[in-house]
């Protein structure tokens, strides 16, 4: 998985590309992104688009700061991004959340 960040001066925001590679979503029909930026609400999850190579990608504009997030595969399997900037305890069992730092 990967995060790419690009600062957009005209808007003073970052365009963050969230990518789940094909090998991490082999049998997934859909992948969505949830986090602090959408209230952790699966109903408001950001759908990532499936690419020709089998990966899933989505772009989100975020202001400077730190944002916790996770991916949801097929509405049931929660997954972290192993290439996140850092990880923090989620407060649920031994689970951690991925963090993107902008």
CATH class, domain 2-101, is mainly beta
- Reported as a single tens digit per residue, the pLDDT across 28-79 is 999 999 999 999 998 999 999 999 999 999 999 999 999 999 999 999 999 9
Q: Please state the separation of Cα 65 from the chain's center in Å.
A: 15
d(CA 18, CA 4): 7
Least confident of 23-27, 56-60, 81-85, 98-102: 23-27
- pLDDT at residue 3 in the model: 94
Residue 93 has pLDDT above 90, yes or no: no
- Please state, in angstroms and rounded to a whole number, the distance separating the CA atoms of residues 53 and 56: 9
pLDDT for the residue 26: 87
CB–CB of 57/24 below 8 Å? no
């Amino acid at each position: 998985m990967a995060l790419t960040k690009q600062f957009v001066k005209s808007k003073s925001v970052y365009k963050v590309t969230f990518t789940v590679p094909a090998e991490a979503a082999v049998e997934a029909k859909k992948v969505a992104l949830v986090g602090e930026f959408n209230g952790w609400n699966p109903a408001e999850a950001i759908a990532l688009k499936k690419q020709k190579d089998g990966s899933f990608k989505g772009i989100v504009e975020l202001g400077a700061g730190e944002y916790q997030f996770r991916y949801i595969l097929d509405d049931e399997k929660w997954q972290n991004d192993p290439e996140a900037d850092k990880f923090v305890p989620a407060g649920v069992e031994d689970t951690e959340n991925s963090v993107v730092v902008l």
